Structure 1
């Protein structure tokens, strides 16, 4: 018993210093387990009718019938919960909150967290942006970026780190995901705050940003984590221009606890972060006070302007709270532009901190009363490399909206037509300024001093309209050109780039499908006849030449691109296509024709019209041609003695340029026993139809002939004279018609034979 008492006392002492290892009751041990609606537990599963969005009617998620939600409202319910089974992302429950006073009152002796932060002069950590591209993106109820507040969460997991929390959420985001996690050392944003998340039920999800505080294990770690947490949330409130007001008491405000969401909005039942705050002698009011303080400091920094000092007598202060000490601007600080990145209020006056550099830390000069400065809002624009052309008027500066001390080029007339490749663009009071390299120097120019050279990649083909069309080497200097003349007309050109300059559209023409190789120069768009040029496919196709039109070295070619100008001699020739392109609405084919690679318009070729048939046929004469393939230049051999006087099966036919061909075979197949293709008029044919395979007993009349095929020729004869078989029984196993004649197949004297109906009784 003595040992047991000692053990119990030891455990109590250990628990007093480690509050995160205690539980209020057994219900907390079940934290994180999957919960279901009571109706689902108490009754057997019943197949329910589903609505138009696939949700079973009557599906309740945290008190909300999600089957009644519109399509827009449903997007704020996690996919993993839409079956009514909710995966709880927090372990903390209402029991913890109700018992927080009893459980954590022992820790109220902790020093005041906010004062501790001030005394340590803690700096917040930088935010890490690790946005997860797998998370779904959907806007808030009023649109993307239309944030209405922030919900402060905590993870309710004593044994997890920030990276473990993020890894778990990344695997299970269909159940829940938030915007960011914070601990004592890091702030990691995992989802853009311009888009909504699944953090606290559909009503909060459609309005608020969600931020999780990761649990730590010591008072000093908690102090650091709260410092990072409050600063990050304050920065969000500044970023989205929301201000600070608590929603805790009446459900109206900008800063929400998860508990307030549960009380006033519903759709969730969590109560964090109150219980966890209480562990460290901290509460919601302390937190709102700290966020407000951080917000006010950040607001001081939230200024982005450019300014000029109005006169030499203007006072420059090192501390706006102490205006008794100052220096005058004089000649040193006038006639130049300054960056203004922070502002402050003192005794009802606004002061701007001026700097020669666009940063908060470098190039600082001091504080100047706002009334002593001429200022404009300064916004860095999203820009990509763009080319402009110098008009030749105005001035270039080393900073946007520069003064006389910022001049790089006072007179731009000598640089007229020069290209300014822009790297950055800023807006100053609504005016665009462009930064780039000009004649070897970095300079800023007002938008009115340049004109845009808009280049873009395209794909067209074009013909120059006439001999007197001008071809320019550059669109920015059209005084230099050459006329097209006979040299460049009557040919098609590739157009892979266009440029718009001073309202005029130009095409870059080339002899090759390239913006670099084979380039001829720039031509005004109206001086060209053009069509869009699109690759269709590189599939092999087989066509046959009609014998009309021309063949060209390029699609939509001109007279200088002709390969064959008279196609009549190539009529019926086989054309194997290896590339198909679309020019405007016309299809062009590239392939080999008579040993040369050419382009043909689709109207100059024809496809083979193939179909199945069932005929029998005889070759009419020995000089009939038998082709191995279709087409006028296909190889052939004459029928001669070898292929005449015998019947053939015809199971396939084809039409090319209105000429019908039959595929003849010695077997009833279009693949086995094939001999070749023959023109239909070189064959004597009849339809070949099977009637039945019934057994019949017929009597040989003793006249006529028996063959090994129906309607056979003399090479098909089995018995040339049936007189010796007169009266014999002929057992039939197959009956067919050839034309209008009936033929029977059976055994006669041990041999399989076909006999015409006229020779049988």
Structure 2
């Protein structure tokens, strides 16, 4: 659509008269006052892009050609040298393209100003794009439809409809959009292509006018008619400034009058005589839409006189169409008149429908049926189709009645029966069995137990009613509390109970098989005040006076100490129950009329205490003045003992401690009567490594930093030499304790930071040694590196001396040590490797001999061992001169032979003689 310019130009061989833009504006303004343009909801006809301000009518992306042209005087024809287009078309006998439909679901749908399917004419457009194609134009418009869109596109070989012509479009300004069908012509590159496109265009325009019973009447020159150029819309209606297709037509030596003339020829060719109705008769059938596309509903069979469009057939897709008349026209088409919901709609080509019921589908039958109780609300109909117009009401009217069958029909795979004096009903709603009916079915509240299990079962519904299925034997539930939730009575007079167990619905049972032990009628009003009895806090309360987990509301502990208002009572199986306001039911035995101290809390704690004030204080089985408390002992019985605190409770009278002694729980005492010397809060986190002091191996460790036999974990000897990891410390009564990882608590004094050697053994021995290596060796109070070992002196102090070995010890490091004495005085310990041992008892040998003291040796001495040591000197041999001495053992010590004489001791062999002197 080309825009006008403000000048006049004469092209060679073709006369145009230029019209100023101002003139067009004035005409458009005048047209806009025409009452016919005042359409309700006029904004509907303005493109969304224009309303949103993202486009204008002049710049909407469509027909925005850049070649300036002038508006042609309509009655003139170009003389460019091209053949006469209409004559060219006729001489070549061009056929017309088939109308294709590519409807775009994304396009907005709105009615014309006079309503759906009521266009007033057609607007002729051209695309103003020399390089575009019909598919390219459609694709572009499909994306940019918010700026503009039309009903169809035409080119040399195709006619493609993209929007229903029953609805309006946005193609030529708001006033034309409200009134007209609009079609775009795609530009051609040759005269022949142009002629072919004009042939298709004129045919399609004539087709549309004929479809909507509109005459061919050009509006190009006077603004009145059914065939409008976009240019005429600009000049007479306004709302647009485009002037197509005038200039494009002139390009090929063609004008709008020529085009209207061609439309008229094709329109007349389409006019035919009205078809006649060969017959029109009443019939009964039901159909549904089979082919909606291309089919419409008419007031009379189409192409008969007076036939008018009602609606597209698609409006009735999926609905049951009752066929009430059939007519055949002289064209051979059979038409059906149909109604929907009892309202007559119109006529439709029978080929567009699928008929699913006709009376010929019925067959005669005999039989008796009953209404299925579950189908009482289902309806029956005048024909075997679910249609509200022939609905005769629910089947409930015929419950329990014997129904006589007369006919059957299978409609869309579903069997229907016609019942005498009633009508049609689906076969699935009837049964050959006469079921019991439910006379009533109501919710009730009760509790029962099995009384007679033999011969009774649980059913999914009351037995002998429709759908009832046998479940388990009633004996399955013997002894259980059965909550009765519904009661039903059947037409046979039996009363049935539906029951649940533990909150799960089980099924129905004959009431005669049960013993009901609770009903609400057993309850009585009562007004009283009660308290949760101490010791009963863990007892539960319930929704009803039955201990049933499904109605368990929790423990009474929530209400300990509270004043409870009793409203009702019921004696259930000999046991009295109370209903407490806002709570529920609990056994009367769990409540008391006395208000005890309430436990605000009772929690496990860890602490150690001793008696501080024995006078006036006692030990109780429970905190004093709480339910069930009894005297245990006066507190003085535990004076001076370590009391392990195991629980703490708070009552309205104070804080109480439960304690144990020696691992035995004793009772409760007022915390004010005690002095607590340990709590976990006294502990601190530390790190470190310690070792068991060897001298403390017999000391014990404990579960807590208190010496209590109940938490004694054994002696430290298990961990000798092991590195112990410290985790915590606590100073308890001035004494530091350590908690060792994986062990427990021990007094810090029992551990050391030094890793001492331990003694593998320490035994008494007899030997004599002398210093071999004095350098680097010392004498110690204990074997060196043993706990408590202290240096005495350098070993050199004892060089050359006879060192009597008293004890031998081996340490964990593998070293052997000797404890020695000199001159009878114990000195200390020395490493054996520093000594040379010249006597051990192993050097001795048995000997039996008689000897006498040599007269010359009577002043020599004898000793306790074969070593000259004053500490074991037993005196001179003169005491035994002349006496016979019995020799028992001998030993060679440092090359010198010694004899041990019975009852005397050791003396050198040189001091004795085998002969008596």
TM-score for both structures, normalised by structure 1: 0.47
Larger-gyration structure (1/2):
2
TM-score for both structures, normalised by structure 2: 0.40
Higher relative contact order by CA 8 Å / sep ≥ 6: 1 or 2? 1
